[in-house]
Amino acid sequence: MGILQLLTRKKAAVVQKDRPVPKHIAIILDGNGRWASKRGLPRTAGHAAGSENFRRIATYCKNIGVDYLTIYAFSTENWKRSQEEVSAIMGLLKQYLFEALDEMEKDHIRLRFFGDLSRLAPELQELAQKTLETSKKYDGFQTNVCLNYGGRDEIVRAARAFAQKCVAGECTPESLNEQVFSSYLDSAGIPDPELIIRPSGELRVSNFLLWQSAYSEYYFTNVLWPDFTEEELEKAIASFNRRNRRFGGV
Ligand code: IPE
Ligand code: IPE
Ligand code: MG
């Protein structure tokens, strides 16, 4: 067992029962760098630990009956980081997609991507395409991986796509409403997340799911992402279940 696996090893997951579970949970995977710094490790080690933890939490979500898990893996702003860090993250994503291909065939899970993939390395784009093709065969648990994703960028791309259709004479500005606009977003056809979790203590949204989070419940915790266990997820779900969602009503 490698040092990272030892550091991230936690007790086996206990699947909780008898409580409602949000159909769509979204998570901002944050705190990898601080997790590594605290241990005197390079930031890239934090990303490796975070990626390992993502596999655990995704499996747990699938087992407790979540339909969609959306994860913020790389933002449109994250290109500002050092080339070394960006390539380490891209390498981990490649590895994840590669393994996911196998897993999808075995467990009939699906993957989808939010974000502008055109800026990613061709090899990564190809892998993403392959996982999308495989996903078409299945209808089980779905993970939405946000890659080169920004909420504002997503809205701009959607607006551009709609405008192009209008220019081509395929629709008119008057036909646009919230439902139609949603169908131009990366999340087309996917219900909005009921619960958005941000670990690591930051109290901000950082350009995540700006349109889709209009009525999401937020859960913030100081726990860093590589330390975020199944028990932490259960705490977030319990907090969600205690809330009174009014949607503007009384
Ligand atoms: C999240 O962890 C991973 C990405 C944004 C890709 P960070 O790398 O942001 O970790 P901190 O916030 O520096 O601790
Ligand atoms: C948000 O985390 C983006 C991802 C987790 C992919 P950041 O670490 O980039 O956010 P800021 O910079 O603290 O707002
Ligand atoms: Mg961060």
Residue position matching structure tokens 């958005």 = 196
Q: What is the largest CA-CA distance in the chain?
A: 60
Distance between CA 239 and CA 6 in Å, rounded? Answer: 30
How much distance in Å is there from the Cα of 223 to the middle of ligand 3? 12
Rounded to 5 degrees, φ, ψ at 114 are: -110, 140
Instruction: Please indicate, yes or no, if residue 33 is contained in any of the structural domains.
Output: yes
Domain of residue 102: give its range: 3-11+23-151+192-240
Structure tokens at 218: 């937020």
Count the domains in the chain: 1
Instruction: Please indicate, yes or no, if residue 181 is contained in any of the structural domains.
Output: no
| pTM of structure | 0.95
| pLDDT tens over the chain, length 250 residues | 455 555 555 555 567 679 999 999 999 999 999 999 999 999 999 999 999 999 999 999 999 999 999 999 999 999 999 999 999 999 999 999 999 999 999 989 999 999 999 999 999 999 999 999 999 999 999 999 999 999 999 999 999 999 999 999 999 999 999 999 999 999 999 999 999 999 999 999 999 999 999 999 999 999 999 999 999 999 999 999 999 999 999 9
Report which ligand 2 atom has the smallest distance to the Cα of 146: 6
Closest by Cα among 131, 109, 104 to 62: 109
**Pocket around ligand 2 at a 6 A CB cut-off:** 28-30, 72-75, 77-78, 202, 204, 206
Instruction: Please indicate, yes or no, if residue 157 is contained in any of the structural domains.
Output: no
Instruction: Please indicate, yes or no, if residue 94 is contained in any of the structural domains.
Output: yes
Residue 48 backbone zone (phi > 0: left; psi -120 to 50: alpha; other: beta) = alpha
Instruction: Please indicate, yes or no, if residue 174 is contained in any of the structural domains.
Output: no
Distance between CA 75 and CA 151 in Å, rounded? Answer: 9
Which residues lie at CB < 5 A from ion ligand 3?
Answer: 30
How much distance in Å is there from the Cα of 35 to the middle of ligand 2? 14
Instruction: Please indicate, yes or no, if residue 159 is contained in any of the structural domains.
Output: no
Instruction: Please indicate, yes or no, if residue 202 is contained in any of the structural domains.
Output: yes
- pLDDT for 13: 57
- pLDDT for 1: 47
Instruction: Please indicate, yes or no, if residue 182 is contained in any of the structural domains.
Output: no
- pLDDT for 4: 54
Cβ neighbours of residue 217 closer than 8 Å, sequence gap 6 or more: 194, 195, 196, 240, 243, 245
Distance between CA 141 and CA 58 in Å, rounded? Answer: 9
Residues that are catalytic: 30, 78
**Which CATH number does the domain housing residue 104 bear?**
3.40.1180.10
How much distance in Å is there from the Cα of 115 to the middle of ligand 1? 18
